[in-house]
A and B are shown apart, each in its own frame.
Chain A
Amino acid sequence: MALSFELRRRGALAVCFALVAATLSAAAPQARAATPSPIKIGAVLSYSGLSAPLGQPQVNALKLAEKDINAHGGVDGHPVQFDIVDDGAKADVAAQLAQQQLGSGAVAVMCGTRTDTSIAVSRVTGAANALQFYMTPTAGVWQTRGGVAKTVFQATPRDALEAQALLNFAKGRLHAKSIAILHDQNLYGTGGATVATEEAKPMGITIVANESYPGDATDFTPQIVKIRDAKPDAVILWGATQTPALAVRAARTLGLKVPILGSSGVLSPAIIKVAGDAATDVYAASNIGFGDATAQQKALAEQYEAAYHQPLVGFAAQAWDAAHLIVDALRDTHGKADGLALAAALEHGKPIAGVQGTFRFSPTDHNGLNMADVHIATARGNAWVAP
């Protein structure tokens, strides 16, 4: 028995050696042949689980961005390679994956699709002095209580800009004087509700109700009844994926007929599919234009539709911009992986034209966009269109 165990152990060791040797011999000629070596960038996205409708377009766009970047010379002639992994919409998984990617030579990390995954990873990138770009509107990931997170940047209009645009639209176009807020209980939703409350005050808009729901809610009766009783002129709905669609349906079913203005997370094809004919008088903030799309947005839309046979969505534009912004910084530092050096290049560099707008980063602004970069769309027929 002892002998057979020893033999097996030796056998296992031999197999290990053989594998290592095989890997080395296979890798060596490749490394020699493929000069210059690729620059690896980690991408931890949520393309399964609840956030799949957001993460999947980001993966699509990232693959297009990789081709585009490498067609334009990569970084100093080195091809760029995005290592895309799925965190399943789980913050702890995202942090582990980011740690692994940085450990295996990634020079920067794109993460993530969700606010909670982005925050979890920001602790990893902060500790490792690595550049991170994330793609949710929550500014709180870089605008922390302890000041600006030095190496964390945001590649989509921040929530305060969305709130300003929605409130402006509510006041100017819909003549609303009072607003009720209905939001997801997660970090994204509560952050948005807080920002909207702050932005409403100087605009002279009163918040008459503030209700929340858990991300997997299916019934909204208590919240809608309370909002209906508060008699607001409009409702701001801050949430993402399908759940807001059920909220819209519940509102219309329970006789809450006022306009509903959603955050950009509400803007997905899913809401029209789920809410159906209830999606009337529903608006949403968007990082890409509907009817007022910029030339860059039209160009990306064309490319995206040709590759994937589906219309461009805002989530894809976020990933496209994040990828190009990281590469822009890497070109400035000639591929140096130092997070602080990359951050400095972004903060003091020239304005960078992206698909969503022109990014003007500074040491106090790691978002760099402004309210003009937020568009408003409305659900009509079976699509999102210009209001």
Chain B
Amino acid sequence: MKHVFYVLFCLLFFGFCTRLTGLSLFEMYDNALLLFMGLATLAQLVIWPRESGSLLLRLLRREVLSGAEQQRLLYQLRFVGRTALHYCVLLILLGAFSALGAVDSQRSMVTLGLFVSVALLAPLACLLLQLWVLQPLIQAIEKQKAASV
């Protein structure tokens, strides 16, 4: 239970640091990005292996995994990180395609300026996923691996 509170504290502290810069994470969203992220996450969940799900639950319950299980879960988590990074680049390219495609219209400069700011949201979401979800899980597995050597 204390770990849950600690994670909540980390999230709140992160939110506080963002507020110090005069921004709010809740204001930083884009409908197209949210729609893509929602549907892509659902699609990834459809092909997510059931075994990795149960291993993840066991890791969250602080159970010690065997060497083979650690290796399989580690691969799956790194795969998620890699996929998120690739989707992030793909979203930037798709956003650039949409923005440049409309560049001859009257509002071209507004569109381009908006694109540059919105293009930063995909890497931001990717880094938040890495920092808040993937890295703590990978570190937990690596700690178990180191402890079992």
Query: Do A and B associate with each other?
Result: no
